[in-house]
Chains A and B, each alone.
Chain A
Amino acid sequence: MKNRLQELFAEKQQEGLLSVYFTAGYPNLNDTESIILELEKNGVDLIEVGMPFSDPLADGPTIQQSSEVAIRNGMTIPLLFEQLRNIREKTQIPLVLMGYLNPVMQYGVERFCQKCKEVGIDGIILPDLPLADYVREFKSIFEENNLSKVFLITPQTPEQRIREIDSHTNGFVYMVSSASTTGSTNGKAVANTDYFQRVAQMGIQNPAMIGFGIHNRDTFVQACNHARGAIIGSAFIKALGQERSLQQNIQSFIHSLRN
């Protein structure tokens, strides 16, 4: 049976899918459900819910700070599952959990995957879980719980390794746009068209989404020219920090990307 993430890519053939990342517990501890429902209402195609970690190595200042605030607010993995307990009564949008390995390890990988299935999570992104460890220890657990494991590739990832990653992925391939932590706005994000084309021509089995440094309509549209869609994180978190209501902040940010 396909999960919602796989259904999205299989059914919705149009390009320009928009995935939005936010850090659970930011700006306020109990915003998780409101943010998910508001994003769906505004036409976002899939949502990455960030599990905050004290030492997010792949993240720039914006997600570092939102993680710090979220942890201070009291966000934990058990609490996040509690907040998501009834989410599938309210929305069928594909949901992916993203975070770092250590908190998931402490919770217990198997227990984590079972809980994900229980509340209706479709995929997991753990950037510091090595591919080899995943294949050896965890792949069967993810598959038993119908969870897609999404891996990252970068401009420096050799072709053979991209193929290996593709063969162990069953959701989408997360193309990191350029050599960078998250949240950079230096324009390098969509400059590396050689890399985008090289991957596009490889004919990998999974759809690709481009993320890191996608922060406005211009970079979103350009990224979408080279992949099935793009992922926005830091720019959305900045928008959440604006003064107006959560609903207004979300509405005006998504509107600025798509219209």
Chain B
Amino acid sequence: MNYIVDDNGFYGKFGGAYVPEMLYPNVEELRQNYLKIIYKPEFQKELQALLKDYVGRPTPLYFAKRLSERYNTKIYLKREDLNHTGAHKINNTMGQILLAKRLGKKRIIAETGAGQHGVATATVCALMGLECIVYMGEVDIERQAPNVARMKMLGASVVPATSGSKTLKDATNEAIRDWINNPEDTYYIIGSVVGPHPYPDMVARFQAVISEEMMAQLQEQTGRDYPDYVVACVGGGSNAAGAFYHYLDRPEVKLVAVEAAGLGIESGESAATSVLGKEGIIHGSRTLLMQTEDGQVVEPYSISAGLDYPGVGPLHAHLHQSGRAVFESITDDEALKAVLELTRLEGIIPALESAHALAALDRIGAKPEDVVVVNLSGRGDKDLATYLKRFHFDEE
């Protein structure tokens, strides 16, 4: 079975480019050029140097001893939280900004949920001296205030998306509309493995550095270049795509994708697309999405802004349907419990998104001798206000 995108932009029956004609030339320009440009030696040389000296790669693979004792297995954390800007998102924005420059684009737009992709985009725009506009749902602007401040400090304009649920889906709609209105000078940096082909494949390739490093680090630390399990959270699914990438065709590695159940799968307040979604079109891609019987997109819910998305990237829809990956869903409360557990056992405060992956550790059935890698996609600084409130530290 092949898990890499085919020539038409599909993973099995998922993917494609369902865009209005206004976006066709832009998407087509990217499709024809992205592989040619990003695998040029001079492009790779510039990207690798920036990832090393600016982003701080390779990120450590850390054996979490106390967490391992707690779950009676061998747990390693891939420390994407230690990247510059605090999450894996910059792996992708650094790649795409170099591509945008080579395509001669002057104006950069992006959507953001938790604000991590917005910050990562604003950061590379500051670095390259390009104009940056970030669309962010009004609800998310409120719950992720520190990241809004960082984007503004970096010189980006943060534009509130006020339609629908005022979260990531709506921010993505607004970014796409901006692109329709500015087709010639503008480059759209999508932050996840979603959107029309070639975005899902391109973003996965830029994030694949995560599993590439894991292979070398596991070889060194365990004598084997693969783990028994890779566990990662999935909203759109970019950190999971990167953590899974080099293991997709190695069936000895079990892939675990963890979605946000919100208040519970049956509660009507959830973002667990693999359970609640069915096949359809969202943001230019044929994939699984949460929708009504009439095909209207359903407003999702999760405490985690980065997982609060009604769809999932087409690669993940394919991994789900083919059974290559196991999908778990974690509620708000379970994720919060995992936040405090990692903080107290290992001295690491994780992002709410990453905590969903951690919370799945007691579900995967790992044996004491198994090697489990959890992709710790981001740090929790942006979530401190939520943590203070939910853990009642603000009352002390």
Contact for B22 among A53, A105, A129, A179, CB less than 8 A: A179
The residues of A that contact B368 with a CB separation of less than 8 Å are none
Assess whether B19 is in contact with A101, with CB atoms less than 8 Å apart: no
Assess whether B21 is in contact with A157, with CB atoms less than 8 Å apart: yes
Residue A181 interfacial (CB < 8 Å): yes
CA distance A106 to B18 in the complex (A): 15
Contact for A54 among B22, B164, B183, CB less than 8 A: B164
Assess whether A58 is in contact with B22, with CB atoms less than 8 Å apart: yes
Residue A231 interfacial (CB < 8 Å): no
Assess whether B280 is in contact with A106, with CB atoms less than 8 Å apart: yes
Residue A15 interfacial (CB < 8 Å): no
Q: Which of B141-183 contact A (CB under 8 A)?
A: 163-164, 169, 173, 176-177, 180-183
The residues of A that contact B182 with a CB separation of less than 8 Å are 179
Assess whether B297 is in contact with A156, with CB atoms less than 8 Å apart: no
CA distance A127 to B25 in the complex (A): 14
A27-35, A39-47, A146-154, A214-222 - interface stretch: A146-154
Residue A102 interfacial (CB < 8 Å): yes
Residue A130 interfacial (CB < 8 Å): yes
Q: A128-B19, A128-B20 are in contact. Are A106 and B183 (CB under 8 A)?
A: no
Assess whether B25 is in contact with A157, with CB atoms less than 8 Å apart: yes
Contact for A176 among B21, B281, B297, CB less than 8 A: B21
Q: How many residues in B have their beta carbons less than 8 Å from beta carbons of A?
A: 32
Assess whether B296 is in contact with A157, with CB atoms less than 8 Å apart: no
Assess whether A156 is in contact with B25, with CB atoms less than 8 Å apart: yes
Assess whether A57 is in contact with B20, with CB atoms less than 8 Å apart: yes
How far is the CB of A124 from the nearest CB of chain B, in Å? 15
CA distance A133 to B181 in the complex (A): 25
Residue A246 interfacial (CB < 8 Å): no
Assess whether A102 is in contact with B22, with CB atoms less than 8 Å apart: no
Assess whether A129 is in contact with B18, with CB atoms less than 8 Å apart: yes
Assess whether B282 is in contact with A102, with CB atoms less than 8 Å apart: yes
How far is the CB of B177 from the nearest CB of chain A, in Å? 5
The residues of B that contact A180 with a CB separation of less than 8 Å are 22, 180-181
Assess whether B291 is in contact with A154, with CB atoms less than 8 Å apart: no
Residue A76 interfacial (CB < 8 Å): yes
Assess whether A54 is in contact with B297, with CB atoms less than 8 Å apart: yes
The residues of A that contact B24 with a CB separation of less than 8 Å are 157, 161
How far is the CB of B146 from the nearest CB of chain A, in Å? 29
The residues of B that contact A107 with a CB separation of less than 8 Å are 294-295
Assess whether A54 is in contact with B296, with CB atoms less than 8 Å apart: yes
How far is the CB of B38 from the nearest CB of chain A, in Å? 24
Q: Which of B65-83 contact A (CB under 8 A)?
A: none
Assess whether B22 is in contact with A152, with CB atoms less than 8 Å apart: yes
Assess whether A156 is in contact with B184, with CB atoms less than 8 Å apart: yes
Residue B17 interfacial (CB < 8 Å): yes
Residue A55 interfacial (CB < 8 Å): yes
Residue A71 interfacial (CB < 8 Å): yes
Assess whether A55 is in contact with B169, with CB atoms less than 8 Å apart: yes
Assess whether A130 is in contact with B17, with CB atoms less than 8 Å apart: yes
CA distance A157 to B26 in the complex (A): 10
The residues of A that contact B183 with a CB separation of less than 8 Å are 154, 156, 179
The residues of A that contact B297 with a CB separation of less than 8 Å are 54-55, 102
Residue A64 interfacial (CB < 8 Å): yes
Assess whether A133 is in contact with B295, with CB atoms less than 8 Å apart: no
- Could you list 10 A-B pairs, sorted by A, with CB under 8 Å? A53-B295, A54-B164, A57-B283, A57-B284, A77-B295, A105-B281, A107-B294, A127-B21, A154-B22, A179-B183
The 9 closest A-B pairs by CB, nearest first: A103-B295, A106-B295, A127-B20, A152-B21, A54-B296, A58-B20, A76-B294, A102-B281, A156-B25
Residues of chain B whose beta carbon lies under 8 Å from any beta carbon of chain A: 16-22, 24-25, 163-164, 169, 173, 176-177, 180-184, 279-284, 291, 293-297
Residues of chain A whose beta carbon lies under 8 Å from any beta carbon of chain B: 53-55, 57-58, 60, 64, 68, 71, 76-78, 100-107, 127-130, 133, 151-154, 156-158, 161, 176, 179-181, 184
